Amino acid sequence: MKHFTSITDVEHPDALIQQVVNLKEQPQFSNIGKHKTLGLVFFNPSLRTRLSTQKAAQNLGMDVIVLNINKDSWKVEFEDGTVMNGATQEHIKDAVKVISSYCDIMGVRSFATLEDREEDYKERVLTNFVQYSSVPVISLESATLHPLQSLTDMATITASAIQRPKVVLSWAPHPKALPQAVSNSFLQWSPAIDAEVVCACPEGYELSDAFTGGITTMHNQEEAFADADFIYAKNWSSYDSYGATPAVEKDWTITVEKMALTNDARFMHCLPIRRNVVASDPVIDHSLVYQQAKNREYAAQAVLQNLLEDL
Ligand SMILES: NCCC[C@H](NC(=O)CCC(=O)O)C(=O)O
Ligand SMILES: NC(=O)OP(=O)(O)O
């Protein structure tokens, strides 16, 4: 594996998912990363990605350096050929070349701005990192994808050992407009496991065809929940009216009553979760969310291990 920015970077996604399940069942520690440095660059906040990736690197003997770029560094310019006599102080090209010179593997997190669909879906920040980095790049969640989360989620579902489960990706309310990255990526990875996947969302919140191809989209949440084995909740803003949050008539919060419509489904969410908005307290308290969070460590470790082996 050269980079890890999308499932398309992975030759055998099913084998990688199984590697994560194996690590979860039997955690491994090694020194394959001794005297190697992982650099993590954050344009946006993070709790799980930051800590689980650091922990995974430590499990492999790596050293880790972290830069919170918007907080601690210079303001970054992305336009090529621009006269930098304004607010930006360092060009992305220079920043990435320099950061990667200190690292053997680099990770970057940069969310969608939700202002311009074309710009976000071009993945300018991630693409610049891949272009100018001299070392492999891991996406720590980009504008449109979150592959470390999806790898984790596929491993969490696989570890349950339910044969061909019904998995419902359900839109849920949120006070803020959020990116489509987690949901896009979840759908993109789901063909790598043997599952029936349904997407439930209000009208106006359909995800891009690039990710929903071959997946049933339903606008009735209760109907979608029938016979489900997993409910994967996530909010996202509109793809069609890009970044907008059109009014939704029905209450899409996931409650104990709605979970009772399922086949005793396990509730999943990537976290952080707005309690009693996305889902009610008892749903979250009896869910897989902490297992998912712990599995992030194994997913990051499997990805780092593969990248280190191919250095
Ligand atoms: N990394 C997991 C999710 C990150 C982000 N959530 C958020 O920004 C939530 C923020 C809030 O609750 O205000 C998202 O949806 O892509
Ligand atoms: N799930 C996830 O990526 O969490 P953080 O945003 O806290 O890293």
The token pair at 262 is: 């399922």
Q: Say yes or no: domain 7-145+296-309 is CATH 3.40.50.1370.
A: yes
Q: Which of 40, 142, 178, 238 has most ligand 1 atoms within 8 Å of CB, for mutation? A: 178
Tens-digit pLDDT string for the chain (311 aa): 999 999 999 999 999 999 999 999 999 999 999 999 999 999 999 999 999 999 999 999 999 999 999 889 999 999 999 999 999 999 999 999 999 999 999 999 999 999 999 999 999 999 999 999 999 999 999 999 999 999 999 999 999 999 999 999 999 999 999 999 999 999 999 999 999 999 999 999 999 999 999 899 999 999 999 999 999 999 999 999 999 999 999 999 999 999 999 999 999 999 999 999 999 999 999 999 999 999 999 999 999 999 999 99
- Give the pLDDT of residue 70: 87
| Dist. CA 194 → ligand 2 center (Å) | 26
The token pair at 309 is: 């082996």
Judged on CB neighbours under 10 Å (0-12, 13-18, 19+), 168 is: buried
C-beta of 235 in contact with ligand 2 (< 6 A): no
Query: What is d(CA 184, CA 199) in angstroms, rounded to the nearest whole number?
Result: 11
Angle of CA points 109, 56, 194, to nearest 5°? 80
Question: Which atom of ligand 2 is closest in space to residue 49's alpha carbon?
Answer: 8
**3 state SS of 272:** coil
Question: Which atom of ligand 2 is closest in space to residue 148's alpha carbon?
Answer: 3
- Give the pLDDT of residue 248: 98
Q: What are the start and end residues of each CATH 3.40.50.1370 domain in the chain?
A: 7-145+296-309, 149-292
- Give the pLDDT of residue 214: 87
| 41 touches 67 (CB < 8 A) | yes
Beta-bridged to residue 275, according to DSSP, are 279
Note whether ipTM > 0.90 here.
Answer: yes
pLDDT per position as a tens digit, 269-305: 999 999 999 999 999 999 999 999 999 999 999 999 9
- Give the pLDDT of residue 292: 98
| Dist. CA 272 → ligand 1 center (Å) | 6
Q: Scanning the structure block, which residue is given the tokens 């990363």?
A: 33
Tell which CATH classification among 3.40.50.150, 3.40.50.1820, 3.20.20.80, 3.40.50.1370 matches the domain 149-292: 3.40.50.1370
Instruction: Report the chain's terminal Cα–Cα distance, integer Å.
Output: 9
The pTM is what? Answer: 0.98
Question: Which atom of ligand 1 is closest in space to residue 146's alpha carbon?
Answer: 1
Contacts (Cβ under 8 Å, ≥6 apart) of 191: 214
Alpha helices by DSSP H, listed for the chain, are: 13-25, 48-59, 69-72, 92-101, 117-122, 124-132, 147-159, 181-189, 209-212, 221-225, 256-259, 281-285, 289-309
pLDDT per position as a tens digit, 13-67: 999 999 999 999 999 999 999 999 999 999 999 999 999 999 999 999 999 999 9
